[in-house]
Structure 1
């Protein structure tokens, strides 16, 4: 699975072979890959991203790829290309065509960015509609928790 996931991620790069070779040499190294070709990434603050991930994981058997930074400040959901251009969610930043994402090798945790759900190598992505619903549910749960305090 990891080999297929590496090949799928590398396919987004201008030089896929170079990315695969770099990860073979050092699987703990991150790569800078362009968004917008095979996937976009919706970046949300960790305070809502982690609860949204939990909601999404309860709703679908296999969520698409999800990244998180080690400090828990950002969560990145891989979604179909073009989603970032149309996304209007509050506190979410879309990375689409013309942007680049720091990506760790699947199956490895380099230290700064890690996979909550690594790519499956088949191109599975998060459904934007289900993700939007999960983000809304997570925001409602957070708001309800804030009112109780």
Structure 2
């Protein structure tokens, strides 16, 4: 039977995060003593990270939910407008090709994917109520973890949904006639039915 920490996080999930540190055993011990402290993890070991604007990621996750796709952990940096989406390791190698194959129109707002040589802070097991610099936009799910590892957002549906979200968020003058038509149809579908 799997043991849990006092706050309910599964030890195996915590061990998965600890694998992205230089000393997993020492990290696990420190996290048990100070579960509210954010964790500093190396990127590219157990996950890569896609960085994008918060509004874009929020809409993307809504679209992914609608398409019944896996929603992996995503971190919001409270002092920035950026969100970090955890994706499978190796995604950074394929990212430019995935984006190039999409219909991404605005290259200055292009989401980027980072990997080895970078680090990220993630929320602690039980983050402090105030003064938190990182918080979960989408917390890792222990219910859908496989072998202690949380399911991560798949890069191909992520790019497709990021592109769709971007087209929906773009001002009307920046959208193509096709994108405007798709948005109009979606608005009608979402509106309450009138009798």
Interval containing the TM-score (normalised by the shorter chain):
0.7 to 0.9
Query: Could you say which structure has the larger radius of gyration?
Result: 2
TM-score (norm 1): 0.85
TM superposition outliers: structure 1 runs of 4+ over 3 Å: none
CA contact (8 A) 1:41 1:94 kept: yes
Q: Deviations over 1:1-27 (max 9, x none)?
A: 612321111112120112112211111
Higher relative contact order (CA 8 A, sep 6+): 1
CA contact (8 A) 2:70 2:154 kept: no
Measure the CA separation in 2 of the matches of 1:63 and 1:138.
15
Where in structure 2 are there 5+ consecutive unaligned residues? 1-7, 100-106, 143-147, 174-195
Q: Which of 21, 29, 39 is equivalent to 1:13? A: 21
Among 149, 157, 182, the residue aligned to 1:130: 157
Task: Quote the residue 2:90 is aligned against.
Answer: 82
C-alpha separation in 1, matches of 2:127 and 2:161: 26
Structure with the larger strand share: 1
CA RMSD of aligned residues (A): 2.0
Q: How many residues align?
A: 145
Q: Alpha carbons of 1:54 and 1:83: their partners in 2 closer, same or farther (altered >3 Å)?
A: same
The question of 1:2 aligning with 2:23 is answered no
Partner Cα distance (1:39, 1:30) in 2: 17
What TM-score does the superposition give when structure 2 sets the normalisation length? 0.67
Give 1:102's match in structure 2, choosing from 113, 121, 124. 121
